[in-house]
Amino acid sequence: MSGSIYDNRELSWLKFNQRVLQESLDSSIPLLERLAFTSIFQSNLDEFFMVRVGTLFDQLGTDPELRENKTNMTSREQLDAIFDRVRKTEPQKEKAYRDIMKQLENHGINHIAIDKLTDEENIYIKEYFRNEILPLLSPLIIDKRHPMPFIKNKKLYIAVHLESKSGIKLGLLPVSDSFRRIVQLSKKPLRFVLVEDIVLKHASEVFENYNVLGSSIIRITRNADISEDDDSFLDCDFDFRNLMEELIKERKKLAPVRLQVMGNPESDIIKYLCKRLEISENQVFPAKAPLDLSFAFNLKRMYEGTELCYAPFTPQKSPEISDTIPMAEQIRKKDILLHYPYQSIKPFIRMLNEAAADPDVVSVKITLYRLARNSKIIQALVEMAERGIDVLVLVELRARFDEENNIGWSKTLQNAGCTIIYGPKGLKVHSKLLLITRKKGDRLEHITQIGTGNYNEKTSELYTDLSLLTANADIASEANEVFNALSLGHLVESCSHLLVAPLCLQNKVLAMIDEEISQAKLGNKAYVGIKINSLSDRSIIDKLVEASKAGVKTELIIRGLCCLISGAKGETENIRVTSIVGRFLEHSRIYIFGPEQRRKIYISSADFMTRNTVKRVEVAAPIYDPDIADRIVKIFETMLEDDVKARVQNSNGLYKKKSSHNKKTDCQREFMKQAIENAGQTVSEPCLPASCSADFEPSEFYKCFLMQ
């Protein structure tokens, strides 16, 4: 099979991140929202180096000849290609930053270069440094007699080259998180400098007994690829929660994989730093824009309600839900689908609170992956347990970069009386599954919820997700089988309704694609429609190629990385790949097999990546309610019609925005408008811009790109 139909996973992800960066260049987006996208681009790249580049360095050390299974590249070849691609993309980010800041000057927001201060401002900054910064600085000297200190991951430091007769002597000044990042020189207009530039300017005062030859701002990115599945950990006697606490400590000490440098340090200093950090000069990335752009969100908060930011969108009330009838009673009458963030998560939380107060509810079982800081879902589960309901909670302690939060929540839940489990050995549990059991007399009643996104109130306002609430007895029975298997450390080996990874999701997806291939060969209409975040599973990719060759019309909406290249003549010409990057992060997963007359529809927690399909516990739920099925198809079709935020993959693997004619469709804008209208509200056009970005912190937004 031709290699031209495959793309490398890492390089495809970098293409996705470039699509994120393109949002910062879109002149139709408010300026501070565009600035936020530059920060998201940078945060994404940080996590990419920590996770994916870290993994490749680990592979390079253990098996340098190992090749990935799509483009046959070795770890070294992938690293070289990544570094080359990043070097070409970084100047685009820097230009976007400069252009945005230049335009912000017209709105009274001025990031002042430290060498452009007025005499009065210089006096103020000097006093500010001496009074607010200098007392908190902890200077370090590095030379032959002083070992290299531990440089924290993603923290800013000032590296100072000090004159020395005995070789290179380096001064290091950590820029503390306790420092105010934006230092205002005036408020109207806003003139500000960044604290690291102040420390850089006055570094010579700290090292007053030395002749300073040069200085620059540096930032280290460390490998975060640490696995709880390592044999040395799996065979230990630790409690699993204690093990994860030890692993978190170990991650903070892992080796550097990237050194960023802002300024003009001498080559000797770079070589010296590389030697002491044990990295190659190929891992050094010079920069001309701030090394940490997270202050963009501080600026957004300062200017909320102005033309520089979007008017907030409030998730709307679902027209299907009554405020006066208990949620369980409504669900027993008819399945309910919630579409976040266009519809509110409040009905789901209300359902939990009502269950906690219902004397007939005997048990609640749920899987938790990522949670909000002040989680109302945790509060409801605690209340249930304290009221005597049997509450079983699977807390996934291996949710990358949320391990500490989840460890804390597991302790809170356990102290409240919940039964805590952690899932099968070596497999993350990524499913979004809830089962509420109610006993009325001798009869058991069940409510099952299956979702595409986490039980997280914050991200339910930022990510597009689907949440199915159903009283279907067959679905409840199989959901209970999933929980029983998880409790016993087993895997679900067969199912008739749900798709449950790792043993009965991929094979069933392949079988359903095979059915479409058979139909196409018989001359019948055949169709596959998939909306996911990522596609890298080679088995599914090859089956989609086979389907394309058989004439199956295949439409893929894939936000992030896609290792399949569409449009290749004779191979993938019946496949279209679309990516949408907009105001909200596209996160829902939808599987559609077959044309309308015989279609099967699922919503799922699983992307089509090997890590999801055969290395995790994932759940996909069938949609049996015809009204909900039609609604999901309409959602899918509206996204395909998008010609504002959608990019279409070409046969060369590159993505290009659609050519718009008279009609312009921004699917997210359309969904907001529909949600407002369906809730009986008046649509205000200024609240619904054609191009959007969310009011989010990068810590919330970018996690989904890589970690889920």
Active site residues: 430
| Rounded CA separation 566/291 (Å) | 36
Binning the chain into helix, strand and coil, the percentages to the nearest 5 are: 40, 20, 35
Residue type, 566: S
Angle (CA) 102-14-226 rounded to 5° is 115
Phi-psi region of 200 (alpha: psi -120 to 50; beta: other; left: phi over 0): alpha
347: helix, coil or strand? helix
Q: What's the CA gap between 446 and 471, in Å, rounded?
A: 6
**Gap between the Cα atoms of 503 and 618, Å rounded:** 10
Residue type at 518?
S
Integer Cα distance of 539 and 563 in angstroms: 12
Smallest CA-to-CA distance from 159 within 178, 174, 181 is with: 174
Q: Where are the alpha helices (DSSP H) in 266-326?
A: 267-277, 295-302
Residue with tokens 């200017």: 303
330: which residues sit within 8 A by CB, 6+ positions away?
Answer: 320, 321, 322, 336
Count the neighbouring beta carbons within 10 Å of the beta carbon of residue 419.
Answer: 15
CA 300, 346, 560, 294: dihedral to nearest 10 degrees?
20
Q: Please give the torsion angle defined by the CA atoms of residues 685, 687, 693 and 695, in that order, rounded to the nearest 10 degrees.
A: -170
Q: Which residues are CB-neighbours of 135 under 8 A, at least 6 positions away?
A: none
Cα separation, 577 vs 548, whole angstroms: 13
Going from the C-alpha of 88 to that of each of 14, 91, 92, 334, 598, the distances in angstroms are 11, 7, 8, 53, 48
236 to each of 16, 32, 239, 362, 569, how far by Cα in Å? 39, 50, 9, 36, 53
Instruction: For residue 257, give the amino acid letter.
Output: V
Helices (H) and strands (E) in the chain, counts: 22, 28
Q: Is the peptide bond preceding residue 502 cis, with omega within 30 degrees of 0?
A: yes
Separation in Å, CA 514 to CA 528, 529, 537, 614: 10, 14, 16, 19
Judge contact between 410 and 309, C-beta under 8 A. Answer: no
From CA 700, how far away is CA 409, in angstroms rounded? 18
Whether the CB-CB separation of 169 and 269 falls below 8 Å is answered with: no
**Pick from 361, 366, 342, 343: which is nearest to 449 by CA?**
366
The rounded distance, in Å, linking the Cα atoms of 419 and 411 is: 11
